[in-house]
Amino acid sequence: MKTLEDMKINDQVEFKRRILFASVAFAAGLSGAGWAWWRSMPQPGLPSNVQAFWGMGFEKPEGGELSMQTFKGRPLLLNFWATWCPPCIEELPLLESIWLKNGPKTLQVLGLAVDQPSSVRKFLAQHPLTFPMGLAGLNGTELGRSLGNSVNALPYSVLFNADGRMTAQKMGKLEVEDLAEWLKDLK
């Protein structure tokens, strides 16, 4: 028969065992959350990928070709979006206002639609935008990944300075505060 002293020792051992298991579980959970957070953060685009971007061209929704070379030499806000993406649609008026306020003289804005061309044309017919638009199609996800969008999330925005180097990026909907910070860094 166990004595009261033996039962206290067993309770203490059991308590320490539970604390140990809880600590290990907490550490594992924290590690997993940290890894998931790191994985979801935009990664810097490799210089070779950024250089390749400036050599690309995209079909325009209204027809014709849109060459990235025409955007070189001035800061460019590049936005990957799709018609089926609610946050993308929500941020389009902000991009339009930035374009109208700055025009192509100071900050250029370019939308690359990662979508079916017919869907983009239909959307733009109903919701006209004046900033330049390119049709990246499904290849746009690979281009976004090469420019740092490690999880292919939309919307995804990248800021290039006048030298053509990537200076900022954001996964998710742009906010006025993001753009204010980005524009401050351009000066």
Per CATH, is 47-186 categorized as 3.40.30.10? yes
pLDDT for res 49: 77
**Average of per-residue pLDDT across 124-137:** 96
**Average of per-residue pLDDT across 7-31:** 62
157 vs 28: which has the higher pLDDT: 157
pLDDT for res 139: 86
Q: Which residues are CB-contacts of 84 (< 8 A; sequence separation ≥ 6)?
A: 115, 119
pLDDT for res 51: 86
Contact 82, 114 (CB under 8 A): yes
Q: What does residue 41 show for φ and ψ, rounded to 5 degrees?
A: -75, 140
Give the gyration radius of the chain's Cα atoms.
25
Stated pTM of the model = 0.75
* pLDDT score of 182 more than 80: yes
Q: DSSP letters along 114-155, please?
A: -S-HHHHHHHHHHS---S-EEE-GGGHHHHHHHTT-TT--SS
| Burial grade of 131 (CB within 10 A; 0-12, 13-18, 19 or more) | buried
**Average of per-residue pLDDT across 171-182:** 91
pLDDT for res 34: 42
Give the span between the Cα atoms of 44 and 146, in whole angstroms.
Answer: 9
CB atoms within 10 A of CB 116: 15
Give the span between the Cα atoms of 144 and 121, in whole angstroms.
Answer: 21
pLDDT tens readout for residues 36-86: 444 444 445 556 778 889 999 999 999 999 999 999 999 999 999 999 999
**Average of per-residue pLDDT across 145-172:** 92
Instruction: Enter the DSSP assignment of 41.
Output: S
pLDDT tens readout for residues 72-124: 999 999 999 999 999 999 999 999 999 998 876 788 999 999 999 999 999 99
Residue 151 in tokens: 């999880």
pLDDT for res 26: 55
Cis-peptide, bond into residue 104, ω within 30° of zero: no
pLDDT for res 21: 58
Instruction: Give the residue from 67, 72, 70, 45 showing the smallest Cα distance to 56.
Output: 67
Residue 185 in tokens: 């860094």
Contact 143, 53 (CB under 8 A): yes
The whole-angstrom distance between residue 124's C-alpha and the CA centroid of its chain comes to 22
pLDDT tens readout for residues 163-175: 999 999 999 999 9
Domain boundaries, the chain: 1-40, 47-186
